Amino acid sequence: MPDPTRPPAPRIIAIANQKGGVGKTTTAINLAAALSEGGHKVLLVDLDPQGNASTGLGIEPEARQRTTYDLLLEEAPVSEVVLPTNIPGLWICPATTDLSSADMELVASEKRSFLLHDALHQPALDAYGFDYILIDCPPSLSLLTINAMVAAQSVLVPLQAEFFALEGLSQLLLTIREVRQSANQGLRIEGVVLTMYDVRNNLSQQVEADARATLGEIVFRTMIPRNVRVSEAPSFALPVLSYDPVSRGAAAYRALAQELVARHEIAQRKG
């Protein structure tokens, strides 16, 4: 039963696609930055052993004293793991390569699928007043990704506008369905966002048409364009919204954040 003395829980969204190179971490960083720019308090949980979300937000390796590995496997207090970023309103649970061994270590735990869920429901998290928690999943359907899906209310899927885009999606949707049936009945698909979209490319337009015909309204209206500024920003350890605020990529991520928030407001009114 919910505790009436606790503040409203944040919306937890896992950003997942088992296929690498689809703009998953780029979407996690820039959507988080866009939500915080819109006045929301956001926590980004870096669950990818590559730690690219941490690097992309300027968290140096030596600053990552406590990480998502400690949160999952050492039961570290969340207050020891959460770090502020240079983006107002945006915090991060950083990751290092230590997380690469987590899958093997998680197998031995009876609560192996629920460790992130329990960590993100610590009362200590209330003090931050987060509106959104975004989880950047690894590019695989591993125990780490399962942990993210069990912890989350929804899954956002970045989908690259390329020939084989829809092929790998079926396995991801099957995994979401299995998690819903076994461990998290409330899990739903937040939406599918087309990334690296080139309006001049007939293939991008065909992938968009196929995605909308197959998946319907779960495909976001907003599409993330192929944009050199989006590609350059991580090398400066910045989201594109800070690196080039007036670029097409920055505008697209702002629009995606606004569409996401609008969907939630509509769902709350219906609920």
70 inside domain: yes
CATH number at residue 50: 3.40.50.300
Q: What pTM, to 2 d.p., does this model score?
A: 0.95
Tell me what pLDDT residue 35 has: 98
Arithmetic mean of pLDDT, 154-176: 88
Inform me whether the pLDDT recorded for 5 exceeds 80.
Answer: no
Inform me whether the pLDDT recorded for 204 exceeds 80.
Answer: yes
1 inside domain: no
26 inside domain: yes
72 inside domain: yes
- Looking at the structure of the chain, the number of domains it has is 1
Tell me what pLDDT residue 31 has: 98
Structure tokens at 177: 């369905």
Residue-wise pLDDT tens digits, 104-143: 888 878 888 999 999 999 999 999 999 999 999 999 889 9
18 inside domain: yes
CA end-to-end span of the chain:
18
For residue 53, what pLDDT band results from cuts at 50, 70 and 90? very high
174 inside domain: yes
Domain that holds residue 199: 11-270
Inform me whether the pLDDT recorded for 3 exceeds 80.
Answer: no
Inform me whether the pLDDT recorded for 69 exceeds 80.
Answer: yes
2 inside domain: no
5 inside domain: no
Arithmetic mean of pLDDT, 155-172: 87
